[in-house]
């Protein structure tokens, strides 16, 4: 795809106008820093020239223009153009440039961090706003890896790009200054170094891209091994298979570390060869000019300037290559982050005219059919039924009969392939906004309740803010869900922690907290999808009786494989009979 070639550019294009203005400001600071370094470097030459001439301002024709420039600077600040004053001016410029460089580095790092927050938030938001059918087909470990780890790689690449541009600007300006002093020597060395890095880059590009792909694969595999090891801890302990998972992690982690070392080596090894090239060039320059009658004094100013400039140029050239290598080693991560952002764009501009839904009386499911994208046959075929406010509607059937699919259709999580769902005369899928409004009126109890690692209070109210009124509503919901007495028997009551995914609770206790979570919302539509399967018969009957007594204010749907519960329903749909089972 197109983004494979310029994924980093496309990622930057996804930034806001505010971030682009900050990027431009960072580049302006880089230019200012480069100008400061050029001035500081060029001031070294007349300083050394005056020393080699005995401290005076005895001019040599080829250096006359730079001495005139220095005289202009000293006249502007109102001092004499002598060695001491030039030294003081140079020190001032060096200190100012240092301050600008520090500011530039910190600011570019902050901009990269702000962009990182934007990317993580956008990637997570785009994932959550995807259609439900897409979300269930995603690998959670891969998504977490992209947002939590690979986004950091992308941010590091952006930071590397800013530093690369900053260093490139400074080096170009310094090279222009050296070219003005000695064009032949500077251009010859520049040509040698450029040819060297072009050859190195051509070799390194393929290796870095291969390492990038392998690194992201290893990171994802590591996360899957860790996730599976923790989720299957009970089975692993029973089977005494700890060493198998440890070995899997060891082998994968070893490959990942070796790839990282390989990329780091590719990024750093040209530095040592560059140092040899630089020293050889200096020695060759000295040897070529030592036989001239003017002696050492003629080459001392440029040699000294070159030596000082090399302290910035040699690390700078290597840094440019190293940052380029780092960016290439992160390309796979950049593409993954870009894919998550671009593929999850929400098309919700057609929901502006959506009517808010409230006081719902009737839902009609008319001739709907549905087929999953990875299936060749319809899961639901020509299904119709009507739900009325104040009634309990039951859906029964064996496992795999389509009960949960019907619930996902009713909740607006997936769209029918054919047919329609009508809510009080409004087509549910008229636009995205209508679906969003409908979802807000629904509360859902799935068979498997996900518990956050927090308190019972937090697990019932979830994203809602806790206050005195909400705490009272939480307790009311818990009483109606038949879980209040258990909670009050705990040492910390409603502030008791449930552990990772509710590990401290039984299956029935988790289901009752899930039911309390749905009742807490006080929604107009309540859907219980096998949400009582882990309860004992007495608790289940008590809960259903409560729902029967309070059914007048809502539409209630109970999905179960237990036909005993149909006695509490005003109407029901038997999928086994529908499918002729």
User: How confident is the model at residue 345, as a pLDDT?
Assistant: 63
Dig out the tokens for 315 from the structure: 């690390």
User: How confident is the model at residue 60, as a pLDDT?
Assistant: 46
User: How confident is the model at residue 579, as a pLDDT?
Assistant: 56
CA distance 463 to 271: 53
> At a CB cut-off of 8 Å and minimum separation 6, what does 429 contact?
412, 415, 416, 420, 421, 435
| Cβ pair 186, 255 in contact under 8 A | no
Domains of the chain: 112-343 (1.20.1560.10), 389-414+426-578 (3.40.50.300)
User: How confident is the model at residue 255, as a pLDDT?
Assistant: 92
Q: How many CA atoms lie within 13 A of 257 on its CB side?
A: 6
Q: Which of 191, 184, 193, 192 is nearest to 289 (CA)?
A: 184
> pLDDT tens for residues 485-509?
999 999 999 999 998 888 888 888 9
User: How confident is the model at residue 1, as a pLDDT?
Assistant: 38
Tally of CB atoms within 10 A around 21: 12
E strands present in 502-570: 525-529, 555-560
Q: What is the mean pLDDT of each run of 10 residues along the chain (581 residues)?
A: 63 89 92 86 76 52 61 72 77 87 90 91 87 82 85 89 88 85 82 85 85 87 85 78 89 91 85 78 72 57 78 83 85 88 63 66 92 83 91 88 89 90 88 85 88 88 74 90 92 90 87 92 90 84 88 90 86 78 47
Q: What angle do CA 13, 19, 22 make, to 5 degrees?
A: 125
User: How confident is the model at residue 55, as a pLDDT?
Assistant: 45
| Cβ pair 528, 557 in contact under 8 A | yes
CA distance 207 to 129: 37
User: How confident is the model at residue 496, as a pLDDT?
Assistant: 92
User: How confident is the model at residue 52, as a pLDDT?
Assistant: 67
CA distance 197 to 180: 24
> pLDDT tens for residues 380-407?
888 999 999 999 999 998 887 888 889 9
User: How confident is the model at residue 189, as a pLDDT?
Assistant: 82
Dig out the tokens for 501 from the structure: 């995914």
Q: Which residues pair with 573 in a beta bridge?
A: 395
């Amino acid at each position: 795809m197109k983004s494979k070639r310029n994924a980093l550019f496309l990622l930057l294009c996804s930034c806001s106008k505010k971030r682009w203005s900050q990027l431009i400001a960072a580049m302006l600071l880089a230019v200012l820093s480069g100008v400061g370094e050029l001035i500081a470097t060029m001031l070294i030459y007349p300083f050394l020239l005056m020393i080699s001439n005995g401290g005076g301002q005895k001019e040599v024709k080829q250096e006359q223009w730079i001495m005139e420039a220095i005289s202009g600077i000293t006249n502007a600040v109102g001092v004499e153009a002598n060695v001491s004053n030039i030294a003081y001016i140079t020190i001032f410029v060096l200190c100012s440039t240092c301050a600008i460089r520090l500011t530039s580095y910190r600011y570019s790092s902050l901009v990269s961090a702000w962009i990182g927050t934007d990317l993580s938030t956008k990637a997570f938001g785009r994932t959550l706003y995807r259609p439900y059918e897409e979300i269930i087909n995603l690998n959670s470990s891969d998504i977490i890896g992209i947002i939590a780890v690979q986004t950091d790689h992308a941010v590091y690449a952006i930071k590397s790009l800013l530093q690369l541009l900053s260093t490139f600007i400074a080096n170009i300006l310094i090279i222009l200054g050296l070219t003005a002093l000695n064009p032949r020597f500077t251009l010859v060395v520049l040509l040698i170094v450029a040819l060297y890095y072009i050859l190195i880059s051509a070799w390194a590009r393929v290796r870095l891209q291969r390492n990038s792909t392998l690194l992201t694969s290893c990171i994802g595999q590591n996360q899957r091994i860790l996730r599976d090891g923790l989720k299957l801890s009970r089975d692993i302990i029973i089977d005494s298979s700890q060493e198998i998972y440890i070995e899997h992690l060891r082998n994968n982690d070893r490959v990942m570390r070796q790839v990282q070392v390989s990329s780091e080596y590719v990024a750093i090894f040209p530095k040592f060869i560059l140092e040899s090239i630089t020293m050889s060039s200096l020695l060759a320059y000295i040897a070529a000019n030592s036989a001239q009658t003017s002696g050492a004094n003629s080459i001392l100013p440029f040699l000294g300037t070159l030596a000082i400039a090399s302290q910035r140029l040699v690390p700078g050239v290597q840094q440019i290559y190293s940052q380029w290598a780092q960016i290439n080693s992160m390309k796979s991560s950049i593409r993954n982050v870009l894919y998550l952002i671009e593929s999850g764009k929400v098309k919700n501009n057609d929901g502006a005219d959506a009517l808010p839904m409230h006081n719902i009386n009737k839902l009609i499911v008319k001739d709907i059919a549905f087929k999953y994208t990875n299936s060749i046959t319809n899961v639901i075929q020509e299904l119709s039924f009507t739900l009325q406010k104040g009634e309990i509607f039951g859906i029964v059937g064996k496992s795999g009969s389509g009960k949960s699919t019907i619930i996902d259709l009713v909740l607006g999580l997936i769209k029918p392939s054919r047919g329609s769902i009508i809510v009080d005369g409004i087509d549910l899928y008229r636009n995205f906004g209508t679906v969003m409004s409908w979802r807000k009126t629904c509360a859902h109890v799935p068979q498997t309740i996900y518990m956050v690692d927090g308190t019972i209070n937090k697990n019932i109210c979830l994203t809602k803010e806790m206050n005195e009124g909400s705490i009272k509503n939480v307790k009311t919901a818990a009483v109606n869900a038949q879980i209040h007495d258990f909670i009050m028997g705990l040492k910390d009551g409603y502030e008791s922690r449930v552990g990772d995914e509710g590990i401290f609770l039984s299956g029935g206790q988790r289901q009752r907290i899930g039911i309390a979570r749905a009742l807490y919302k006080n929604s107009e539509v309540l859907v219980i999808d096998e949400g009582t399967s882990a309860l004992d018969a007495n608790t289940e009957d008590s809960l259903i009786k409560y729902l029967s007594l309070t059914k007048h204010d809502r539409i209630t749907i109970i999905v179960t494989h237990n036909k005993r519960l149909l006695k509490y329903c005003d109407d029901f749909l038997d999928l086994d009979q529908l499918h002729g089972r």
